Amino acid sequence: MSDQPDVLILGGGSGGYACAFRAAQLGKSVTLIEEDKVGGTCLHRGCIPTKALVHAAEVADTVAHASALGIGATLDGIDLDGVYAYKNAIVERLYKGLQGLVRSHRIEVVHGTGRYAGGRTVHVGDRTITGAALVLATGSEVRSLPGLEIGGRILTSDQALTFPELPRRVVVLGGGVIGVEFAGIWASLGADVTIVEALPRLIAAEDEWASKQLTRALRKRGITVMTGTRFAKAVQDERTVSVTVESGDTLEADLLLVAVGRGPRTAGLGLTELGVDVDPRGFVTVDDSLRTSQPDVYAVGDIVAGPQLAHRGFQQGIFVAETIAGLSPTLLEDSAIPRVTYSNPEVASVGLTEEQARERHGDVATVVYDLAGNGRSQILGTSGGVKLVRAGATDGPVVGIHMVGERVGELIGEAQLIVNWGAYPNEVAALVHAHPTQAEALGEAHLALAGTPLHSHS
């Protein structure tokens, strides 16, 4: 144990442990402070458990619609305890693997709640630890609305992962990523779901085309979507919850999921009191190298304003570790980081929306390739499409790719290479995509944007 490590990290989530691993690889001594379990929200209460539930819901959908493929299968019911056991087993296996990596990198993990003590120092329990560099990586926490108390049948995503009964009726307050993912899960498991969103459209950070595609698909699945609708109040008893919106209409449900976003977990850490600049929303202020207002103190992950994505945390953690070690790493801008919403259908994107591209580049050109023309998508029974955004009306690189459809999240790897390497439509059109795959849709879209469409109209 050392109370003066080369790198001291407060928070063991995606950004924190990525920083720890890379710093250790570069020969630094590392101490990691974590009050719960290494892996943070993503592994234990976010990305992994929710995607396990998404997959369980996909299996339920497959069985329920098997007769359309000539397969004699029936969905006899949902064993919720069994679904949770499947989810928990995945989390536990990944957690054990992560613990093994911590040991192999010889990282000291201090379990406890750390509090910033100024400079590069953190108090945790009866220890005072000072690093040659300090990295703040305390992550995010669920948010609610004023006057809306969480408890009973009013849940956040944290409680929804373990709620002991399968609801028949659910109101989801919030049409962002978390809201539409849980809406899809519960709908597939047989619930009547209503999404209430104050903004004019779902997944408002995505391209408007993608939002419209998803809304249409969710409504086709029987999910009620109420956009431009503000929440007024919620009243619950032992069996139900009544949700009233601003118009005065009331929705009766078994559960209310509050999915209005996540905020930075910075309150009560002593940051502002001891000179670390924090903006009015609670995000730590950083420069282009993720340095805070205090010398040799950095911040990574969800406490840095921008998209709250585990892989963004990984990238930032690695970047800071390499910066501390004296290397010259490159940090991608937030728009260049791929994004996936695991709804049904999925939404995947990288780069600029059409609106953002027009603001930055002026003239742009766009094309949409409909998945109706893609053989693999028809086999899977999915609708949707691929939208490309090019800088310049007649020539320029592809600056945005937006996809909607089943499994399109698996295409985002190629999409990010196209955008981040500044590829031109004709360059991607010259590549060969295996047939029949959904990846062909990316190729077809670039063929169309290059003016040489194959399986689409010019």
Q: Which residues are catalytic?
A: 435
Strands 297-299 and 133-136: parallel
Rg (CA), the chain: 23
> CA-to-CA distance for 372 and 354, rounded, in angstroms?
22
- What is the secondary structure of 168-208 as a DSSP string? SEEEEE--SHHHHHHHHHHHHTT-EEEEE-SSSSSSTTS-H
Which one, of 392, 439, 394, 393, lies nearest residue 418 by Cα? 439
Distance of CA 113 to the CA centre of its chain: 26
Packing angle of the helix pair 412-420, 439-449 (nearest 10 deg): 30
Task: Tell me the C-alpha to C-alpha distance, in Å, between residue 32 and each of 24, 28, 113, 224.
Answer: 11, 12, 11, 45
Which one, of 233, 226, 223, lies nearest residue 198 by Cα? 226
Contacts 24+ apart (CB under 8 A), 385-389: 385/213, 385/441, 386/441, 386/442, 386/444, 386/445, 387/207, 387/209, 387/210, 387/354, 387/445, 388/425, 388/445, 388/446, 388/449, 389/207, 389/351, 389/352, 389/353, 389/354, 389/357, 389/364, 389/365
In 10 A of CB 165, how many CB atoms? 8
385 in Cβ contact with 432 (< 8 Å): no
Strands 231-236 and 241-245: antiparallel
